[in-house]
Structure 1
Amino acid sequence: MTVRNLDYLLKPKSIALIGASRKPKTIGAVVARNLFNAGFDGPIMPVSAQDRSIEGVLCYPSVEALPITPDLAVICTAPETVPDLIRQLGERGTKAAIVISSGFGEMGPEGKALEQQVLDAARPHLLRVAGPNCLGMMVPGIGLNASFAHVNALKGDIALIAQSGAVVTSIVDWATSRRVGFSHLVSLGGMADVDFGDLLDYMAADQHTRAICLYVEAITEARKFMSAARAAARQKPVIVIRSGRSDEAAKAATSHTGALAGHDDVYDAAFRRAGMLRVVELDELFDAVETLAMGVQITGDRLAIVTNGGGIGIMATDMLIEEGGKLASIDEAVMEKLNAVLPPTWSRCNPVDIIGDAPAKRYADALGTLLGSRSHDGILVINCPVALSESTEAAQAVVDTLKGKKHQVLTSWLGDGSAQDARHLFAANRIPTYETPNKAVRAFMHMVRYRKNQELLMETPASTPEQFKVDEKAARTVIDAAIAEGRGWLSEFEAKQVLEAYDIPVVETLKAATPDEAADAARRIGKPVALKILSVDIIHKSDIGGVQLHIKTPEEVRAKAVAMLDRIRAIKPDARIEGFTVQAMASKPGAHELIVGMADDPLFGPVLLFGQGGTSVEVVQDKALGLPPLNTNLAREMMSRTRVWKLLQGYRDRPPAAIDQIALTLIKISQMITDIAEIVELDINPLLADDAGVLALDARIKVAVPTVQPGTRRLAIRPYPKKLEERVKLNDGREYLLRPVRPEDEPIVHRMFEKMTPEDIRLRFFAPMKRLSHQMAARLTQIDYDREMAVVAVAPNEDGREELYGIVRIAADPDNQKAEYAVMVRSDMKGKGLGYVLMTRIINYARSRGIGEVYGEVLRENTTMLGMCHELGFTRKENRDEPGVVEVTIKM
């Protein structure tokens, strides 16, 4: 399930509190007090066998005795009673329950079994369960506080979803003092049913929620989470904090939540790929919430700083540079204006030090001047308390200067008592304010990183560098043979055969069974060689002297091979030795040693690795992780997060490395592990890279029969579904390729739009449009194949370039019950049957996915579309809210 019946959980009209109590300091008493005193406008029915009334309201002895069926039940009873209570509620027609009680999955196998009983009791009735072992939840907009929190949250437009109830109460306490409000606060607890994915889907569509904050210890279903997170992040800001970054903390998180905690750097890669902003500390989350609550929009990383304390300005600058931001320059025109309003002793640079005696007017003049400049992306205004001026007056000057203007201004008024009034003034006027300049700079950089993640979601990759040939059959032959023999690791020679099948350049390598054969192989190569032991039992060959480099003659090869055999047999007498590999020494002087790899995460599935390689790779620890599938933009972004990235750009007399070829190697590995589920671990180290290209010197591949999630289901993000490609002939006799849309299709979507008549555009989009925006075109082409599908019809034009002639798409709801369709055919393709073919294909696809209904909206005057819908079996009805619009529906 996903959002099904969540309205009953988050927008109930009636509530039953089971386990209500009058006994002081019990959960039943605290939840009752909160429920009855938060302003909920609906019946609240306490259920208690001990008390006659609670909060002046008559109690009921059991679920059967309730006078009406509650939308939502809040359960605070002993854990062993919960399964039967859920059964009773389900039979009565209740659709949602919050289980605050603990004693379930976090208690081990017996608790897990009890939790499963709860789910089994709920499932036949589609009753949604939040918890167990949770604080509860609050929806301030409807006066709902079904929690045992110590304070009611204020009404606002930020949703907070957290596994930890303590985090929820801490944030509510902090937010209340700062007048920050929430649309929802939900404590998920054990996440037996309702989880992050469900609530992200719900909050993304909630019109009262402008931003979403997550506190994550562990997630459950990776693909569901990624789909929901990517969808939500496209619509509104999503900020996430995750505990359990160290191995020790991860173990603690497991015992606390009853869920498995994954590796933190994998979580980090997942959050980034989803377009979310990750923060590390709880106070960072508070600061990020502050920024979001005030609606600041940051568009770049250049910061201007206005301060009455030079030293404080320099400290803020240090923080900015350390965080990866840039100090904005001050152009000549702005400099002249500042000279005119500031004293001669001002700093004449950024930070703009307006001197310690700065009165309110000087703040207003400096800020007003900078607001007119385009050389920055944000302004930080700092005030240090001094006896010569009043800090509250300076704050009022900032507020007055910003009134009626769109701005990207953050403030930091230092001090305690002297700054409190100024901070309240900023909060009342929705201007972000922070206790220290470092926190303000960090908040600015949060927004910078969030913007970059959003751009990555919407950025169109180039298509040409990603073309390469694949021989999947050859790779599978090698892997299947190893699995048939019961081997987990391929030999180096086999691993390189797999790489070659995916068009990854490898150094020339020959096999040799004996020292004599090794000498003959060296003679055939005819230049200095590397000699390596060949054994499926020896993974790290150099650790035991199984690698010899720069051997010049065949005679030396024979001698070193004999010595190598003796040495290794002494160290690892049980190792199965097949012989040796002899490979030409790669002649790439000055090449960078990189590592490209893949590992299987228990939660997110295959994860890609890139970084600085060589024998010291574990010591250097320069790496970046990413989730497949990759395209050029995603590969380059992944590479840019490493230190070696700067070296690859070239320096001094060293030319830039072939960045596109390195990125393409990552894409090839991504394709390989997408195609072949049997690969569970892969390592190319080193991958040599210079300006001429890349070359794999050594490779290791581990294989196994997939058990948990076969095929592409093991991937956290569904890859391009190539099996949906097909060729069709239309009435004009021309052949077209029907295939799923790809992110790199945006340019041909724009070209197709240019060939549409204004009337066809109006009929399709219900309004005239002169051009298709990048955002809209990206939304059409960058889809989540797990929830949406768009099929395009393409064919080469007279110049051989691929052209787009039609596109059809469906977007399913998170429950896969209904999907909305949209279709567009190029104006000069009318009457050739393309629209009918596209609609038939997408209906068949919807049926294969188990979608129950496909629907759409059509202008009444669009008789061609209405006629086609009738022919395809759609029913129609008039839209009462929008005259002139017809709703068409087909049941699957």
Structure 2
Amino acid sequence: MTVRNLDRLFKPASIALIGASRKPNTIGAVVARNLFQAGFDGPIMPVNATERAVEGVLTYKSVESLPITPDLAVICTPADGVPAVVDALGKRGTRAAIVMSGGFSPEQTQAMLDAARPHLMRILGPSSLGAMVPGRGLNASVSPVAPKKGDVALVAQSSMVVTSIADWATSRGIGFSHLISLGDRGDVDFGDMLDHLAGDATVRAILLYVESINNARKFMSAARSAARQKPVIVIKAGRSEEAAEAAASHTGVLAVSDAVYDAAFRRAGILRVNDLAELFDAAGTLSTGVPITGDRLAILTNGGGMGVMATDRLIQAGGRLATFSPETQEALARLLGSSPGEGARGNPLRIGADAPPKRYAEVLNVLMQDTSNDAVLVLHCPSALTDPETIAQAVTETVQANKSRRHPVLTSWIGDQSATEARKLFTASRIPTYDGPSNAVRAFMHLVRYRRNQELLMETPPSVPEDFQPDDIAVKRIVARAIAEKREWLSEYEAKRVLAAYGVPVVDTRVAETPEEAAHAAEVIGGPIALKILSPDVTHKSDVGGVALHLHGPDAVRAEAEAMLQRVREIAPEARIEGFTVQEMALRPEAYELIVGMTENDLFGPVLLFGQGGIGVEVVEDYALAMPPLNMKLATDLMGRTRIWRQLQGYRSRAAVDLDAVALTLNKVSQLVVDVPEIAELDINPLLADSEGVLALDARIKVGVPALPGAKRLAIRPYPKSLEDRITIKDGRQFLVRPILPEDEPLVHNLVENQTAEDLRLRFFAPLKRLSHQAAARLTQIDYDREMGLIAVGPDPQTGETIMYGVVRITADPDNLRAEYAVMVRSDMKGQGLGYILMNKILDYARSRGIKEVYGEVLRENTNMLNMCRTLGFIRKENLDEPGVVEVRIELGGGIGAAAE
């Protein structure tokens, strides 16, 4: 379950407190006091078999004796009795409970959930501190602090973190819409809360304190959905490295758990921070809606030292100082009385310790007009010559006068008492303000990082530079043979055959059992030779003297092979030696050594790695992680998060690397990982990359029986290729029907451009000329786990280019019970039955996912759509609130479960 009945948990009309008590310092007493003193507007019914009254309110002996059915039950009784209490409440009709009791065994937790399940009853806990919703007067918790009302929601695993944050925030005047302690997450978890809070209009930002996640795909799906709607910011406890000791590949060693969480949060579009102060600073900054387009910061200050501090912090954090445009330089020269070329117009821009309000306002106005910076940081240091409050007023008025430009402005008034009123003024005007320049710069970088993460959710990726048809059958045959032979690792030769089957260029490699065969293979290949030992027991060949490079001629290869056998037997006497691999030396002196890898994470499944390669990869530690599946945009972003990225773009006389070839290799490896779940670890190291493309020199692949079948092991559901199909319309034309892709945004725009104005009005309920990028991205960048879009594509009769002729989509609620549909067919395709075919296909898909009902809203005058819905079996329902709109819906029955992945 997800959001079902969570309204009863956080918006109850009545509450029962099971285990209410008068005994001091007990959970039952503290919760009773908090409940009755919070101002809840509804009946609170204490249940205790021995007490006559609690908090001055008469008690009830049992759940059965309650006068009304409570929406919410707060349970404080010992663990062994909770399942029976839950069962009694469920039979009464209660649909939500907070279980504050602790000490549950796994068997007791399961018994509690089994008692709740028949009644669709939601459980927060066990071992939960409780839930606080100040705006509704709900404080069902043991918190010693009553939080203030606000519009920021906090969800945490740790009870003590909730109480600490509540105390920390209250002393600073920070309020909350929700404070939720998940406890042991027997039922309600982070995914449920993200779905619920994303749809709550009273919540402006969502804060998470995460120690662990128990359902990666559910979390990722909910987080990606929530992050599209409002800022989601997370503290993840535990940054220490926990690399699995059993990891044998470079990727397995490097992909430590905390780095994987970083990759997951980034892919979900949420922002990770380090501590409480940063958490609330980030929430305050992001939730003001300050727009940001880049990482170039202009710094305006009356104190040179503070400007230098801000600059240092900016560069350390990966931001850039803005370079003022010539027009801005001239305007500043006029205002500040300096001639062209003087340092007064540099960045940071120092305007003098005695700068009056007018100077601040005039200079800020110039900087806000300058498109060469992405934001302005205004600093003010205490000075006996100026009044900080009047300067703050001037800055505020300037920002408000430029509101139409929506140019981001951040402020930092240094000091304590002298800055208090200025900060209040900025806060009241929703201008971000911070105690010091470091915090202000950190907030700016929050905006930058958050924008980058959001771009990954909304930016249309470029098309893949080449189409490749992987030979997955050949790969599965190789992998199956190794598993049948109880081998964990493929040989280097097998690993390269796997890569070649997926279009990754590999060097010519041959297997030889003896030194004589190695010499013969060298003669066939010709040129310089690389000789490597072939052994299933040798993980890193160079560590045992099992690699020799630049060998010339068969005789040299034979001699080296004999010497290599001797070295390996001395260093690794237990290793089984199957022979040698003989391969051509790749003579690419300008090439960089990269690593592309993959490993399995216990929670998130496959994780991809990219970075600087070579034998010192663990020492260099220049790498980044990402979650599959990838596209070209995501692959480029992954590459861009490494230090070597700048070198790959070329410098001085060294040519740039073919970056598309590197990104495409990442995509191919991603597809391999998606297609073959038996691959547990993979290393391509080194992958040579230069201006001519890429070449895999060495590869290692670990295989085994996966814990989860197919794509179920992936944290993000991949493209469902099984839904591809060929259809024929009435006039005999054939089209490919397939799931929509992020790369299809240009096709969506083309489809809209080929609609009549009337058809667009009927579809979107208002006149429309074109879709915005954001709207088109939302149609194409979908989460296949909770949405589906099917498009019909085929060649344009005039140009032969692929175009979209129709699209249908459904968006399911988080409980996967109901889904809303939408369909659109090109205006010149009417009467060919394409819309009917697409609707049937999406309804079949909905049934396969277990969706019970599909519905939609149709303008009453859209008779063609209403007639098609009637033919398909939809029931028509009049909309009394909107007389011009008709609701149509169709019951799909029980369904047959989730569609195959």
TM-score for the superposition, normalised by structure 1: 0.95
Counterpart amino acid of residue 845 in structure 2: Y
User: What residue is the counterpart of 1:278 in the other structure?
Assistant: 272
Give the 3 Å change call, closer, same or farther, for CA 822–294 of structure 1 in structure 2. closer
Give the 3 Å change call, closer, same or farther, for CA 182–573 of structure 1 in structure 2. same
Range with greater deviation from structure 2 (735-744 or 301-310): 301-310
Query: Within 5 Å, which residues of 2 pair with 1:115-126?
Result: 115-126=109-120
Query: Within 5 Å, which residues of 2 pair with 1:379-778?
Result: 379-403=376-400, 405-406=402-403, 407=406, 408-706=408-706, 708-778=707-777
Whole-angstrom distance in 2 between the partners of 1:404 and 1:198 = 42
Query: Within 5 Å, which residues of 2 pair with 1:52-131?
Result: 52-104=52-104, 111-131=105-125
CA deviation map 1:258-313 (0-9, x unaligned): xxx98111111011111111112222112112213444333322222221111101
Counterpart amino acid of residue 397 in structure 1: A
The answer to whether the 8 A contact 2:80-2:108 is kept is: yes
Q: What is the Cα deviation at residue 856 of structure 1?
A: 0.7
Q: What is the Cα deviation at residue 336 of structure 1?
A: 4.2
Q: What is the Cα deviation at residue 65 of structure 1?
A: 2.2
Whole-angstrom distance in 2 between the partners of 1:361 and 1:558 = 84
Q: What is the Cα deviation at residue 339 of structure 1?
A: 4.2
User: What residue is the counterpart of 1:168 in the other structure?
Assistant: 162
Give the 3 Å change call, closer, same or farther, for CA 339–52 of structure 1 in structure 2. farther
Aligned residues, how many? 876
Q: What is the Cα deviation at residue 405 of structure 1?
A: 4.6
Q: Secondary structure at the match of 1:266?
A: helix
Whole-angstrom distance in 2 between the partners of 1:697 and 1:339 = 58
The answer to whether the 8 A contact 2:152-2:207 is kept is: yes
The answer to whether the 8 A contact 1:598-1:609 is kept is: yes
Aligned partner (choices 308, 313, 318) of residue 314 of structure 1: 308
Whole-angstrom distance in 2 between the partners of 1:391 and 1:385 = 7
Q: Secondary structure at the match of 1:347?
A: helix
User: What residue is the counterpart of 1:256 in the other structure?
Assistant: none
Q: Secondary structure at the match of 1:465?
A: coil
Query: Within 5 Å, which residues of 2 pair with 1:747-826?
Result: 747-798=746-797, 799-826=799-826
Range with greater deviation from structure 2 (620-629 or 84-93): 84-93
Asked if 1:230 corresponds to 2:224, the answer is yes
User: What residue is the counterpart of 1:254 in the other structure?
Assistant: none
CA deviation map 1:537-564 (0-9, x unaligned): 2121111111111111211111111121
Structure 1 residues without counterparts, runs of 5 or longer: 105-110, 252-260
User: What residue is the counterpart of 1:138 in the other structure?
Assistant: 132
Whole-angstrom distance in 2 between the partners of 1:173 and 1:302 = 36
Whole-angstrom distance in 2 between the partners of 1:367 and 1:23 = 61
Counterpart amino acid of residue 57 in structure 1: V
The answer to whether the 8 A contact 1:293-1:430 is kept is: no
Whole-angstrom distance in 2 between the partners of 1:571 and 1:248 = 29
Counterpart amino acid of residue 361 in structure 2: A
Asked if 1:841 corresponds to 2:841, the answer is yes
CA deviation map 1:193-250 (0-9, x unaligned): 1011011111111122222111111111111111111111111111111111114799
Q: What is the Cα deviation at residue 18 of structure 1?
A: 1.8
Structure 2 residues without counterparts, runs of 5 or longer: 246-254, 893-901
User: What residue is the counterpart of 1:351 in the other structure?
Assistant: 348
Q: What is the Cα deviation at residue 466 of structure 1?
A: 4.8
Q: What is the Cα deviation at residue 465 of structure 1?
A: 1.2
CA deviation map 1:306-352 (0-9, x unaligned): 21111101110111121122222333443444445446699322222
Whole-angstrom distance in 2 between the partners of 1:506 and 1:868 = 54
Give the 3 Å change call, closer, same or farther, for CA 425–172 of structure 1 in structure 2. farther
Q: What is the Cα deviation at residue 688 of structure 1?
A: 0.5
CA deviation map 1:467-498 (0-9, x unaligned): 11211111111111111111111111111111
Query: Within 5 Å, which residues of 2 pair with 1:262-341?
Result: 263-341=257-335
Q: What is the Cα deviation at residue 86 of structure 1?
A: 1.5
Whole-angstrom distance in 1 between the partners of 2:160 and 2:387 = 39
Counterpart amino acid of residue 74 in structure 1: V
CA deviation map 1:2-24 (0-9, x unaligned): 01111101111111112222233
Give the 3 Å change call, closer, same or farther, for CA 61–175 of structure 1 in structure 2. same
Give the 3 Å change call, closer, same or farther, for CA 294–839 of structure 1 in structure 2. closer
Q: What is the Cα deviation at residue 572 of structure 1?
A: 2.6
User: What residue is the counterpart of 1:258 in the other structure?
Assistant: none
Aligned partner (choices 374, 377, 395) of residue 377 of structure 1: 374
Give the 3 Å change call, closer, same or farther, for CA 368–54 of structure 1 in structure 2. farther
Whole-angstrom distance in 2 between the partners of 1:739 and 1:748 = 13
CA deviation map 1:501-558 (0-9, x unaligned): 1111110011111111111111111111011111112121111111111111211111
Whole-angstrom distance in 2 between the partners of 1:334 and 1:180 = 39
CA deviation map 1:103-139 (0-9, x unaligned): 23xxxxxx22222222112111111111122221111
Counterpart amino acid of residue 328 in structure 1: A
Q: What is the Cα deviation at residue 398 of structure 1?
A: 2.6
Whole-angstrom distance in 2 between the partners of 1:290 and 1:166 = 23
CA deviation map 1:346-376 (0-9, x unaligned): 9322222121223334333333343333332
The answer to whether the 8 A contact 2:204-2:230 is kept is: yes
CA deviation map 1:702-729 (0-9, x unaligned): 11112x3100110111111111111111
The answer to whether the 8 A contact 2:464-2:632 is kept is: no
Give the 3 Å change call, closer, same or farther, for CA 134–268 of structure 1 in structure 2. same
The answer to whether the 8 A contact 2:243-2:256 is kept is: no
Whole-angstrom distance in 1 between the partners of 2:582 and 2:293 = 54
Give the 3 Å change call, closer, same or farther, for CA 42–115 of structure 1 in structure 2. same
Q: Secondary structure at the match of 1:365?
A: helix
Whole-angstrom distance in 2 between the partners of 1:298 and 1:29 = 49
Range with greater deviation from structure 2 (145-154 or 529-538): 145-154
The answer to whether the 8 A contact 1:180-1:290 is kept is: no
Whole-angstrom distance in 2 between the partners of 1:262 and 1:27 = 39
Q: Secondary structure at the match of 1:701?
A: strand
Whole-angstrom distance in 2 between the partners of 1:250 and 1:568 = 27
Counterpart amino acid of residue 375 in structure 1: S
The answer to whether the 8 A contact 1:343-1:354 is kept is: no
Whole-angstrom distance in 1 between the partners of 2:546 and 2:44 = 75
Give the 3 Å change call, closer, same or farther, for CA 162–395 of structure 1 in structure 2. same
Whole-angstrom distance in 2 between the partners of 1:863 and 1:281 = 57
Q: What is the Cα deviation at residue 455 of structure 1?
A: 1.3
Q: What is the Cα deviation at residue 148 of structure 1?
A: 1.8
Whole-angstrom distance in 1 between the partners of 2:292 and 2:30 = 42
Whole-angstrom distance in 1 between the partners of 2:753 and 2:615 = 54
User: What residue is the counterpart of 2:238 in the other structure?
Assistant: 244
Whole-angstrom distance in 1 between the partners of 2:242 and 2:823 = 52
Whole-angstrom distance in 1 between the partners of 2:365 and 2:587 = 60
Whole-angstrom distance in 2 between the partners of 1:864 and 1:594 = 57
Counterpart amino acid of residue 564 in structure 2: M
Whole-angstrom distance in 2 between the partners of 1:695 and 1:368 = 53
Identity of aligned residues (%): 66
Whole-angstrom distance in 2 between the partners of 1:397 and 1:281 = 33
